[in-house]
């Protein structure tokens, strides 16, 4: 089975969309997505600097739009019927919802616009941030995070937990890291997936009735517990709730492994989730779709998994 995964905030880099503009129709697609997002995605994906695209209100729509463009380039046919499971990390869960047909592209961009703006306002209320804790004993890491007054906002793997809280709390953890662990501050502008983001939830709850949801065409995993969401309504509920509750990517990877995933494709801006898969999913073949040049390898991986399915039914 193949997993298609969609990265979260912090994976963006200046100019990362530039190579995609060489593909026919991408500039027009970005213009359409920009209208729904209410920002100039073309400019931010090509010429804006790192500090500009760190802004939550820009980063989140930019990442979702990039994933949608890469997915459209990768998939020559609907996902339904293919041996595929889809998951997204944090804001990438919105991308995942769109490519599984749970939300339309327009509704996905409307949702991420509201999410990004609400989280940006919440982040501005108190200077907050996030830091990855890499290595160390898992129990000692969690104890150190709690001791600093931080929240384990992203539990990405046994060897990587992301702590979130005030900048003073982050600084305290950096100054006194857990034994045999490194603490790496992340390029994000808030303590996402913690109580600091609770004000953003209300806006998404108010938006929800205006969105149309559909049952995912292939299994779609939730960041809450790594489980397969049973319906479009449940997927939307999960998307809203994850704004202020931890992302359990470790459980998503556990589910993928239990489902028999042997190959994994990460959509643009790729790299983070393939890295976690290489360390946390033994023997999985991965392709990080960073530029259009990576599409051929990704399509080969997709075709190989489809061929396995066909051989198994003969």
Domain CATH number, residue 172:
3.30.70.250
| C-alpha of 238 from chain center | 14
Catalytic residue among 48, 193, 222, 244: 193
Residues 118, 138, single domain; the answer is no
Which residues span the domain enclosing 140? 125-185
Q: What distance in Å separates the CA atoms of residue 40 and residue 50, rounded to the nearest whole number? A: 15
Q: Record the pTM.
A: 0.92
Q: Tell me which residue of 198, 11, 221 sits closest to 123, measured CA to CA.
A: 198
Active site residue 34: no
- Domain count for the chain, please give it: 2
Active site residue 90: yes
CATH of the domain at 217: 3.40.366.10
Mean pLDDT of the 232-236 span? 96
Residues 7, 61, single domain; the answer is yes
pLDDT of 269: 96
Q: What distance in Å separates the CA atoms of residue 1 and residue 307, rounded to the nearest whole number? A: 11
Catalytic residue among 34, 90, 157, 222: 90
Q: Tell me which residue of 53, 57, 58, 62 sits closest to 7, measured CA to CA.
A: 62
Report residue 65 as tokens. 């739009």
Residues 151, 271, single domain; the answer is no
Among 185, 214, 231, the domain boundary falls at 185
Q: What distance in Å separates the CA atoms of residue 67 and residue 18, rounded to the nearest whole number? A: 14
Residue 314 has pLDDT above 80, yes or no: no
Residues 96, 137, single domain; the answer is no
Residues 215, 83, single domain; the answer is yes
Helix residue spans in the chain (DSSP H): 26-37, 41-46, 50-54, 56-74, 92-99, 105-125, 138-147, 167-175, 198-207, 232-241, 249-258, 272-280, 295-313
Q: What distance in Å separates the CA atoms of residue 109 and residue 308, rounded to the nearest whole number? A: 34
Q: What distance in Å separates the CA atoms of residue 225 and residue 221, rounded to the nearest whole number? A: 8
Mean pLDDT of the 101-106 span? 96
> What backbone phi and psi angles, to 5 degrees, belong to 213?
-115, 155
Residues 275, 299, single domain; the answer is yes
Mean pLDDT, the chain, rounded, equals: 93
Residues 119, 229, single domain; the answer is yes
Residues 40, 146, single domain; the answer is no
pLDDT of 14: 96
Residues 244, 148, single domain; the answer is no
The proportion of the chain whose per-residue pLDDT surpasses 70, expressed as a percent, equals 98
The pairing of strands 84-88 and 128-135 is unpaired
Report residue 69 as tokens. 């463009």
Strand order in the sheet with 160-166: 151-157, 160-166, 128-135, 181-185
């Amino acid at each position: 089975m193949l997993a298609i995964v969609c990265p979260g905030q912090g994976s963006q880099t200046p100019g990362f969309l530039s190579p995609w503009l060489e593909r026919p129709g991408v500039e027009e697609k970005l213009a359409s997505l920009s209208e729904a997002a209410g920002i100039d995605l073309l400019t931010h994906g090509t010429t804006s600097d790192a500090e500009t695209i760190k802004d939550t209100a820009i980063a989140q729509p930019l990442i979702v739009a990039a994933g949608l463009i890469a997915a459209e380039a990768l998939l020559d046919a609907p996902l339904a019927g293919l041996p595929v499971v889809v998951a997204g990390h944090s804001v990438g869960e919105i991308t995942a919802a769109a490519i599984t047909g749970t939300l339309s592209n327009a509704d996905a961009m409307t949702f991420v616009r509201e999410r990004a703006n609400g989280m940006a306002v919440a982040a501005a209320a108190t200077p907050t941030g996030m830091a990855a804790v890499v290595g160390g004993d898992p129990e000692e890491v969690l104890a150190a995070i709690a001791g600093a007054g931080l929240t384990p906002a992203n539990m990405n793997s046994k060897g990587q937990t992301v702590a979130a809280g005030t900048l003073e709390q982050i600084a305290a953890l950096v100054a006194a890291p857990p034994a045999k662990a490194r603490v790496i501050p992340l390029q994000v502008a808030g303590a996402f997936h913690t109580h600091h983001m609770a004000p953003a939830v209300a806006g998404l709850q108010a938006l929800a009735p205006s969105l149309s949801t559909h049952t995912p065409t292939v299994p779609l995993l939730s960041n809450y517990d790594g489980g397969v969401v049973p319906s479009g309504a449940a997927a939307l509920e999960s998307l809203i709730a994850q704004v202020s509750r931890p992302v359990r990517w470790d459980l998503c990877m556990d589910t993928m492994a239990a489902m028999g995933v042997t190959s994994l494709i990460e959509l643009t801006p790729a790299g983070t989730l393939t890295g976690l898969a290489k360390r946390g999913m033994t023997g999985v073949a991965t392709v990080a779709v960073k530029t259009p040049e990576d599409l051929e390898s990704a399509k080969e991986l997709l075709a190989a998994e489809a061929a396995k399915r066909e051989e198994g039914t003969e």
